[in-house]
Structure 1
Amino acid sequence: MKALVKDRRLAVDVVVWGGLALLPLAVGEWQVGQIAQYLTYGIFAMSLALIWGQCGLLSFGHAVFFGLGAYAMSLTTLGMLPGLESWTSSYLGVALALIVPALAANILGRFLFYGRGLQGAQLAIVMLAVAVVAERIMTRWPYAGGMNGLMSVPPVNLGAFGLSYELYDPLPLFYGTLIAALVIYGLLETLVRSRRGVVLRAVGADEARTGFLGHDTRALKLAVFTLSAAVAGFAGALFAAQFGFVSPPLIGFNLSTEVLIWVALGGRRALITAFLGAIAVRLAENALGDLLGPAWLLGLGLVFVLCMIFLPRGLLGEAYWRLIGRGGAR
């Protein structure tokens, strides 16, 4: 049975990633560039699915780490780091986009998990407050552009040794982002399917019992929270390079709410469904905007509520778990 589930999971992965790789053959150049942007949101969604779907940590402020990564990338590539003005490498920007959010999450997590041991609604509300405060700080910080943010952020430059190769045109940008998403998925999925992944799901199901069995649940939550923040920061770095700007809303509550909807509708129990959920919802937003006009948010909210009531594993998640032969699992 386990071998069958593994084979079906592999088949789904091949279909999804192979289909995405062939997508430029079926759509126009403009759509390719647009979907490249949505792949970035998919990486962000996987970072939330890792802590929410696997470890039961619901965060209403996950965009804080996305925004920190975006600002780290922007300040680096714009030559605004004090003492490092000449170091505008995209490689350095990505490194800081991983390190800064991870460090912030690690420090914050020590207060959240080692203090009162917050979880559930308490953790969600605290992270909401963190997102609101972070957005206010960035709005009032002139160094980071204040309310207007930072403009003219350069695209990712993969050049080295004096050579330059910017991911600017839609097709290279699409495949560069797709490869990045596949690498992140592979790393996270390896963790999820490992013994450590089993323990993380046990923490989410019953933390007290998992601790009673000898596992340091606080350390586990801190580690996965830190890893999730690093992935979110990486997604933020790609966003900044693709869109060419960053602004305070990237670090606030609105984006945190959006990613919750993407993950919930896609399916938080599997990384691949959360990833596809972000892409599908962004595409659906465009269609709903054309169909419903300003009321498209109401339509999306209604779908979200119905899904949470009748399909708690998500629209794509429900199909995924039935497809791999675990219809009643997880």
Structure 2
Amino acid sequence: MSATVLYDAPGPKARRRSRIISVVGVIALAALLGWVVWRLAQPQISVNGNENPGMFDASRWDVLAYGEVWQFIGRGVWNTLRAAAVAMVGAVLLGMVFAFGRLATNAFIRIPTTVLLEFFRGMPVLLMMLFILLVASTGAFGAVVIALIIYNGAIIGEALRAGIVALNKGQREAGLSIGLTPVRTRLLIEFPQAFTQMLPIIIAQLVVLLKDTSLGYIVAYSELASTVKQASTFYGNRYLFTFWVVAVVIYLAINLTVSWLGRRAGRLAATRSGKPTAAAKPAAVAASIGGELGAGLGATDGDDDAGGRRRTR
């Protein structure tokens, strides 16, 4: 029986107990899901006593056969994707700036950056959108995008800072030893590794950013959630469940696509960087970058000592 690092491998009784618990849990979840489906399929009694068909009745889904409905929803999807795409790029760039400023050795840069980070992280996105719209008069799209960039940029900046701090100090020392400036060392050696390590957290935050576009209703921005609500109001409350199901499916498709692209990019970046392990020498990454930059500093493979013998470094 093999043992893991943290605990002993489970024995036959523990494995049997785990299987029983898993089966019971699956049955319970299936029963709960079946009850929810059955409950939604039952006729609904309104306040005035009228009986309405169940949620899966064909009369509640016939609205999806209208082309104008999909055009209306399509505009909401486009507004959501447009705001999310611009905000994602801006949040990552601002996060880099926050991370570098937070790690600056100059107190006049580090302290104001820390204050701004804590302020933006503690500010609700909803209030930030409303504040930007009322004070800066940027319009609905600008208010949504700027608020998402600032808030998520602060979160991503802290994640990148944590990734840089978690790196082996030898990485920075190796970069400085081959003649790179502190800024180029952080930008060319530390940041790529920290970004790759913290990519799952960054992807998760970008997915949160995409969902937070639904808060744009506070500034009258017609994103997907707001569009679905307007459609249910226009066509009648009997189609509310239908439109929200469509919105959920679209949100899931977009979020799963973003997560898949992020994981794909992470594997590609790890493959190109050769996945340096903790057992590798700290100077490995720095030496490769130094070789690409041609920062040899005039070093040779060997020098002659005072006796004329070849001395290898």
TM range (shorter): under 0.3
The TM-score, its normalising length taken from structure 1, stands at 0.27
The TM-score, its normalising length taken from structure 2, stands at 0.28
The structure, 1 or 2, with the larger RCO (C-alpha pairs under 8 Å, 6+ apart) is 1
